Copies of this chain bind each other. A is one copy, B any other.
């Protein structure tokens, strides 16, 4: 790779910038609901499977407690979530969706869906990109840290 160090050719930068663009897209679609992009990812995860521990949620979102704990607090303050300490094992905290989060699921996802469709990303592109990202992600994840 000749000019590997040319900024605009850097894969890292491309991924970085694309992630930023996605954040902007989602931010504007989610703004009417007072949700941030990471908060939306939390809702996505819980809409799929509600009532999971903070740990499990963190694993599914690739987030540590240092990120998740304060974020969950904010989402509780805003009426999206509810926390419940396990009676059987008091170390565990289960996270549940509040009514508001179930009620607004349709509107939120529809709004986000429209925002994405407005970008007219082809299904083919979508799937190809998903596959490539999956491959690269797998390689990045399974690398042996020195």
Contact = CB atoms under 8 A, between A and B. Distances in A.
Contact of A130 (B14, B47, B135, B139): B14
A71 interface: no
A122 to B, nearest CB: 9
A23 B139 CA distance: 14
26 contacts: A1-B123, A5-B47, A5-B48, A6-B48, A7-B44, A7-B45, A10-B44, A11-B126, A11-B129, A11-B130, A15-B15, A15-B22, A15-B133, A16-B19, A16-B22, A17-B62, A18-B19, A18-B133, A18-B136, A19-B19, A21-B140, A115-B143, A121-B136, A121-B139, A129-B132, A129-B133
Given A11-B129, A17-B62, 11 more contacts: A5-B44, A14-B130, A15-B22, A17-B137, A18-B133, A18-B137, A19-B19, A20-B62, A21-B137, A21-B140, A28-B146
